[in-house]
């Protein structure tokens, strides 16, 4: 029997969501691992773009940051950051964006700004960076995040990046015509927005995970699809490629990770 960790299950599930012809705006960390796993397995022609302006990059190891030289050295081209955002991102040339969050609500709205009151916060977070533009300008957005009540909340403290707003057609009311969050991939399950209400609904549960576990780790009332699938386990090839990628990264970066 193939053995894998919840993090590997999440990474593989995220990678599988990508297609060979996607142009993907990649974030550092889990999104980077998922996108490069897809490139090294079923989607060799995928175009990976990082926020620093590297286009068509094919890193041999996972980058420490968007400014990692590995990205520029393996890219087809590198453009200035203003061009990256104005021409590529806001110009509608990127099909998929990957985002994470400190807090997330059931409509895919993201908080990476503050925990608590904005003027007197309990914690001040790093902020949005390019995430607000990614959330509104990419064709669709995949969210990748470990599931917990601390992160999956009924109401986020600050809307840093727009998801589906208040649900329904609220996103479009702001003049945003992209698809928005179309998939939420966690270490427990996969959720997709309800076609009308736009709230996240569980559509696939990872092997060995119960509905009770999902409910216990979610701060909103969880909805399950009428037919809930079981997520396919990672294949031996997917795990081998992912683990070799992480091993190369560890060897290259050591304690810097």
Q: What is the pLDDT of residues 200-244, one digit of tens each?
A: 999 999 999 999 999 999 999 999 999 999 999 999 999 999 999
**Shortest CA distance to 14 belongs to which of 108, 129, 97?**
97
Residue 51 designated active-site = yes
Domains of the chain, with CATH numbers?
Answer: 6-186+234-256 (3.40.1080.10)
Average pLDDT over residues 74-102: 92
Cα separation values, 130 from 86, 110, 136, Å:
12, 13, 11
Q: Exactly one of 8, 51, 133, 238 is catalytic; which is it?
A: 51
DSSP-assigned letter for residue 113: S
Cα separation values, 66 from 27, 113, 127, 139, 196, Å:
8, 20, 16, 21, 36
Question: In this model, does residue 197 exceed pLDDT 90?
Answer: yes
């Amino acid at each position: 029997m193939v053995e894998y960790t919840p993090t590997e299950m999440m990474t593989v599930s995220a990678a599988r969501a990508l297609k060979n012809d996607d142009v993907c705006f990649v974030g550092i960390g889990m999104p980077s691992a998922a996108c490069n796993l897809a490139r090294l397995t079923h989607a060799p022609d995928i175009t990976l773009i990082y926020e620093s302006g590297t286009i068509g990059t094919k890193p041999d190891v996972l980058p420490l940051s968007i400014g990692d030289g590995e990205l520029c050295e393996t890219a087809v081209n590198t453009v200035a950051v203003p061009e990256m955002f104005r021409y590529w991102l806001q110009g509608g040339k990127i099909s998929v964006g990957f985002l994470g969050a400190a807090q997330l609500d059931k409509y895919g709205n993201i908080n990476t700004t503050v925990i608590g009151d904005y003027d007197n916060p309990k914690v001040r977070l790093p902020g949005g960076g390019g995430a607000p533009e990614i959330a509104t300008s990419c064709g669709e957005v995949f969210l990748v995040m470990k599931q917990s009540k601390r992160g999956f909340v009924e109401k986020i403290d600050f809307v840093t990046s727009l998801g589906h707003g208040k649900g329904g057609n609220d996103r479009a009311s702001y003049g945003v015509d992209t698809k928005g969050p179309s998939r939420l991939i966690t270490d427990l399950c996969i959720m997709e927005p309800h076609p009308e209400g736009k709230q996240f609904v569980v559509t696939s549960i990872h092997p060995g995970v119960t509905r009770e576990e999902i409910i216990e780790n979610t701060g909103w009332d969880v909805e399950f699809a009428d037919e809930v699938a079981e997520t396919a386990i990672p294949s031996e090839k997917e795990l081998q490629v992912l683990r070799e990628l992480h091993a190369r990264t560890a060897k290259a970066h050591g304690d810097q990770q």
